[in-house]
Structure 1
Amino acid sequence: MTTGHDVILRDVTLRDGLQLTGKPLPTGRKVELVRALLGAGVPELEIGSLARGDMVPPLADTLDVVAALTPEELARCWVWVATPRHVQKAVAAGARNVQYCFSVSDAHNNANIGRDTEVSLAAMPQAVEHARAAGGRIQLCLATAFTCPFEGPVAPQRVLDIVADPRTEGSCDVVVCDTLGQAVPAEVGSLVGRVAEVAGDRRIAFHGHDTWGQGVANALAAVGAGATVLDGALGGLGGCPFAPGASGNTSSEDLLFALRPHWLTPAVLADLVTWSEDLLGELGEPMRSATAQGVRSRAAAFPWTAGPRA
């Protein structure tokens, strides 16, 4: 049975976290944050997207970030892609791990990447071929797996049919996304468990948002149902520009405090909170992490507190 110590956190601050920010983050600052997070022990990161720069300006320099990182660093990093051409561009720049993402609902897929879900699914074998030819890995990432901002609730069977579709073979992971943060733990546990039954030997990842305050509870329900990877962003930063009603990602700090992976110590958590505070202050974004606020408390007898910043 999966425990918190076994779960991998993938921090998505530099992709999903930055999508809605009003201020750009310089490329050098992104590279600095990548190295800080990897050095702290965060197992995996999502560092950018090949979405059109005019549509998502904060991520327009993704290939520059990739080019600045070493092969060893890139082995732990993921880049969001939506087409086979995106895969080609990412791997040509040095990326080796790509997250091929499309929406379960047609309406959101059209709003997000301009095509029906079936068109994205039909193109996946070519995307897999490009990734494998470069010696890389590719994930199947399913946005709006629970609800769609345009169509409402999404039928679980539609998710299962995509995961079981032969055209998704070759993916190493299945990422189940609560894009709007509207799911509750019972729904997450049920769908993730059913996905795990049809996913074969692929890892199951859960990508949640904390819009309705269920982010950590949903993540723990996903782990209980078989997920071994969880996505989070520093300070709860983020949201989808093409999903009205979506707020920030589940906070990486909150997920880590709940899971207590072996590499996490009070000192490391305090460092993460400091980096989060600095980043959010730089971007003019609010702190949404309850754990970050807890770390700054004066409860000196509790080992996970660090007290106010000097």
Structure 2
Amino acid sequence: MTVIRDVTLRDGLQLAGTVLPVAEKIALARELVQAGVPELEIGSLANPRLVPPMAGTLEVVGALTEAELERCWVWVATPAHVRRALDAGARNLQYCLSVSNAHNRANLGRATETSLAGLPGSIESVLAAGGRIELCLATSFSCPFDGPVDPGRVVAIANDPRAAGAADIVLCDTLGQAVPAEVGRLVRRVRAETPCRRVVFHGHDTWGQGLANAFAAVAAGAEMVDGALGGLGGCPFAPGAGGNTATEDLAFGLRPDWLTPESLARLVLQQEKLLAALGEAPRSRAAEAARATPPVFRWAGGFAVRS
């Protein structure tokens, strides 16, 4: 069964013009867990002066229980980030770097090789704390500055011995420019040519291919796909990137065991509340359909229970 990870509280909020209060972030994380979402990102250690919506991430970590944190991931990009996150109580860290040097410099202010050099110590620290760490490869398909990315470079980084110990590898269509055939080829190649670990696909819906790309990734063997409520998101250092694939759309299409009409309604209600708070337009087709479809269709019947 493919895992759906919700990334609303990290990637979903990055470009939001409104900073969500910490208490509301905590409440949303708990609502997602209670709805049955098995894994979620709850924030980033990115500098809040550069990415203001990420302020308060460590406060969110500190407020959650150990059981809740077992299902939560925090985005990090340096060994210093790793130490701060672990000290706050986080145990699942997503160590991110860009396959493209140009994007890594724009996003993190350093070369990809420098980011890779910090990976072994970060892995050691996380494993010593009893946590999990995944290697997240931004711009796995295209770079906003250099154009198409060579799949061979993705495979080479995935095979770098400094990544030994990473539990997952995340292939990111950061710009949302990939198409299903490309996604399927890269996922299959990474599974066949790199160490055995969970393969995650993180897609954006810039060109309307987010859902199709996620399904192609699953068909090629990806064990987890990322989405955000209402299709929120985008990278502040990737001009032209659109929002994430909507979590509600992924859930409706993949039908994970935890999804019921009631839990789908719960997700729709949460995205409506969040989008209203942020002043953002809805992008989820499943949310729109659930509101418009007669309750005789079982997937639209959850609202009667929730009301």
TM-score under structure 2 normalisation? Answer: 0.97
Q: Report SS of the residue matched to 2:9.
A: coil
Sequence identity (%): 63
C-alpha deviation, 1:300, in angstroms: 3.2
Residue 238, structure 1, aligned to residue 229, structure 2: no
Residue 41, structure 1, aligned to residue 41, structure 2: no
Q: For each residue in 1:103-157, what CA deviation from the matched residue of structure 2 results, as whole angstroms up to 9, or x when unmatched? A: 0000000000001111111111011111112111100000000000000000000
Runs of 4+ in 1 over 3 A off after TM superposition: 306-310
Which position in structure 2 is the counterpart of 1:3?
A: none
Q: Could you tell me how far apart the structure 2 residues matched to 1:196 and 1:100 are?
A: 19
Q: Could you tell me how far apart the structure 2 residues matched to 1:271 and 1:49 are?
A: 25
Q: Report SS of the residue matched to 1:296.
A: helix
Which position in structure 2 is the counterpart of 1:72?
A: 67
Residue 31, structure 1, aligned to residue 39, structure 2: no
Q: Could you tell me how far apart the structure 2 residues matched to 1:263 and 1:172 are?
A: 23
Residue 220, structure 1, aligned to residue 215, structure 2: yes
Which position in structure 2 is the counterpart of 1:102?
A: 97
Q: Could you tell me how far apart the structure 1 residues matched to 2:47 and 2:231 are?
A: 24
Q: Could you tell me how far apart the structure 1 residues matched to 2:85 and 2:193 are?
A: 29
Number of residue pairs matched by the alignment: 305
Following superposition of structure 1 onto structure 2, how do residues 249-288 of structure 1 map, counting pairs within 5 Å?
A: 249-288=244-283
Residue 163, structure 1, aligned to residue 158, structure 2: yes
Contact 1:143 1:177 (8 Å CA) reproduced: yes
Structure 2: gaps of 5 or more residues:
none
Q: Report SS of the residue matched to 2:300.
A: coil
C-alpha deviation, 1:289, in angstroms: 0.3
Following superposition of structure 1 onto structure 2, how do residues 1-310 of structure 1 map, counting pairs within 5 Å?
A: 6-306=1-301
Q: Could you tell me how far apart the structure 1 residues matched to 2:262 and 2:74 are?
A: 29
C-alpha deviation, 1:302, in angstroms: 1.5
Contact 1:174 1:199 (8 Å CA) reproduced: no
TM-score under structure 1 normalisation? Answer: 0.96
Alpha carbon RMSD of aligned pairs, Å? 1.2
